[in-house]
Amino acid sequence: MSKNLVIVESPAKAKTIEKFLGNDYTVKSSFGHIRDLPKKGLSIDKENDFKPTYEINPEKKKTVSELKKIAKQASTIWLASDEDREGEAIAWHLCEALGLDSKTTKRIVFHEITKNAIEEAIKNPRTVDLHLVDAQQARRVLDRLVGYELSPVLWRKIRPGLSAGRVQSVAVRLITEREREIKAFVPEVNFKVTTELETNNNELFQAELSDRLNSQDEVLALFESLKNAELKVANVEKKPGVRNPSAPFTTSTLQQEASNWLSYGVKQTMLLAQKLYENGHITYMRTDSTVLSKQALSNIASYIETKYGSKYVETRQYATKNQSAQEAHEAIRPTNIAQSQAGDDDQQRKLYELIWRRTVASQMSAAKIEKTNVDIEITGRTDKLIGKGEVLVFDGFLSVYGRGKEDKILPKLSNGDKLQLKRALAKESYSRAPARYSEASLVRKLEEMGIGRPSTYAPTIGTIQDRGYIEKKDLEGEEKPIKQVTLESGEITTEEIMEKFGADRAKLFPTHLAEVTTDFLVKYFLPIVDYDFTAKVEDEFDRIANGDNKWNSMISDFYKNQFHPLIESSADISRSESSQARTLGNDPASGKPLVARYGKYGPMLQIGEAEDDEKPKFAPLPEGTTLESVTLEQALEMFKLPRTVGKTSSGQEIKANVGRFGPYVQVDKNYYSIRGQDPLTITEEEARKVIDEITEKRKPIKEFSSGIQILNGPYGPYIKKDKKNARIPKGADPAKLTENEAQELLDKAPDKPKRRFSRKKKSK
């Protein structure tokens, strides 16, 4: 057995580090956290300084036993988990689980997995930083207290199974409030006027009217004046400009650019970056810092000079904007700047190239441009036409990163030059509502507000989608009629064209559940979702990490003075208050109130109360409405469902209705989705067409006498026998599979896990 045992977090990291150390070192992985608060129960002693009770994760018991055995045979143990609070906590938990003294056990840190970095870390060990451990512990305990006490309130008042969290609930609030801004937005309509002008040398260029016009009448008045107006160059201004490169990547800026350039989700970006880091290609990928080491700056400058020339070199050290940036990390950069490509697959390679380009560009010269602005007078009018040109004089960093539009060159013009109007176009436009958040723009917003940290963004965004608060959807947009006026050859023509507005992709939308939960939390638990409060909590964690405050004191103040009193007072909140019940009016047939409210399975309509002699009647909301927008007339129509539409060609009755998953038609016990169609108006012919199309899709691609079927599913063809399903390998033709091949795939397919049901004891 080796004299030295090095314990890291991941197996991939262990393999990479093992290459750099000699035979005297054994490198083993803890596979992440080995201890945590138990999944069930609070496990925090509120009466004893909020002391947490940790347990070894059941799936890690074998790992811990193996590490204990190896540790007993090693003369020196080195804890080499990541250089952040989470990594420091892992090191401390290893000490606790393996019986090591945290005050003497050697702790090494490095922000890149290279031979030099590992050897340097071995030369300069330290011990576990208990201040960093306390900061992580404070976050874990606070989030457990919030989740453990607030989530049950949501179960009782809104819907079972909900969760709340200090950062996730704020993220949901941001998305919900942005959606309401968009719905409340009233677009302004105006006309943008562009012209095509000709010089005396027959050169054409474009110019735009300095002001937007508010109506078609104003456009027509302008165009009438342009028919006979003299156009003359009033001023030509040329001035140099520069574009400077952006700082190298932090975690959040990497997530944003990976989304913009590569269409990667936040979680996907972090998983790919983790693999690049573990394989030694990039520095640590969870960082708030934009700083680069002196050695890195020197290497990058040398590379740029060799590759592009000395005039492209401009060494910079970027100041980190976030003053509370954690620990002493570098920005994210390649460990070997001379290596322009790295990664095990295409996605990793693309992300690495993005990091490489951004890093190199950050140390290159600014791009130099020449801007030209031309003011053109229109006789008889106070407004003017403006022509703009831009020429790239020196590409600088743009040769590597961020090259945008091509040069826009204006012809040579002088003051007093007369111009001819070839064509003028006025097009109606609508002002835009605030943009919905994407994953990347939400990260940027959270970072700007000081809420959360690099390590929390990806799991937070994943959680709010998994819990049904947020949906990520593409927007197809809608076509609107646009007025367009053209002046050409002295003739003015007007027309109406159709243009699509609002198309977008991968935007975050709040569900009804998000709106109800956000309103409830803002009303009764404002400190938990208050933006300033949430950011101040992060500052408190920073103070603990710096040794300026005790974690127990911070938790005690939060729990006893701010949080728990709100939990106690929530007992008086009625269910109707929290369900956003809204009385629309009375049902004409029964005279009972018709209410729109949030129920166990989402937004719903209800006639009558549970206390009435007759049972209440329930119906879903009409498609496209919300609790706030649905009207009494729309609601009454929903109680006409289920509706008999007609009969199939074989004489079976067709009914239309709306269920938890949207509108559908039903024949006997078979259901057919009619999403996008109205169950109140769908005709027999339309229903038959849907039924025939879906029935055709549901027909087996192939059947065998053994009971094996090859079927079309919502995610593609699959194999089915009894209650077992199997995927069909990518590239295989389902129609050509033999019975033996299908059976082999079924045999290899994992069995479905058995569902477990727990019965709650009834309170006496």
Instruction: Give me the active site residues, please.
Output: 284
Instruction: Judge whether 88 and 136 are in contact, CB under 8 Å.
Output: yes
User: What is the three-class DSSP state of 524?
Assistant: helix
390, burial (CB in 10 Å: exposed 0-12, middle 13-18, buried 19+): middle
Q: How many CB atoms lie within 10 A of CB 40?
A: 6
DSSP letter string over 343-396? -SSHHHHHHHHHHHHHHHHHTBPPEEEEEEEEEEEETT-S-EEEEEEEEEEE-G
Rounded distance between C-alpha atoms, residue 186 and residue 434, angstroms: 11
Q: How far is CA 610 from CA 21, 592, 638, in A?
A: 72, 12, 20
Residue given tokens 């795939």 in the structure block: 745
As given in the structure block, the two tokens for residue 294 are 């002196």
Rounded distance between C-alpha atoms, residue 678 and residue 665, angstroms: 10
Q: Are strands 504-510 and 602-607 parallel, antiparallel or unpaired?
A: unpaired
As given in the structure block, the two tokens for residue 383 are 């407004």
3-class SS string, 429-441: EECCCCCCCCHHH
CA angle 646, 648, 653 (to 5 degrees): 55
Q: How far is CA 61 from CA 27, 29, 396, 704, in A?
A: 19, 13, 55, 46
First to last CA, the chain: 61
In 3-state terms the chain splits into helix, strand, coil percentages (rounded to 5) of 40, 25, 35
Rounded distance between C-alpha atoms, residue 269 and residue 348, angstroms: 9
Rounded distance between C-alpha atoms, residue 637 and residue 624, angstroms: 14
Orientation angle between helical segments 251-262 and 266-278, nearest 10 degrees: 110
Contacts of 338 (CB under 8 A, 6+ apart): 299, 303
Rounded distance between C-alpha atoms, residue 360 and residue 366, angstroms: 12
User: What is the three-class DSSP state of 52?
Assistant: strand
Rounded distance between C-alpha atoms, residue 52 and residue 545, angstroms: 18
Reference 28, options 9, 47, 48; nearest CA is 9
As given in the structure block, the two tokens for residue 702 are 């192939």
Reference 269, options 281, 255, 256; nearest CA is 255
Q: Are strands 44-45 and 51-52 parallel, antiparallel or unpaired?
A: antiparallel
Q: How far is CA 574 from CA 151, 161, 607, in A?
A: 16, 19, 19
Instruction: Judge whether 664 and 673 are in contact, CB under 8 Å.
Output: yes
Q: How many CB atoms lie within 10 A of CB 724?
A: 14
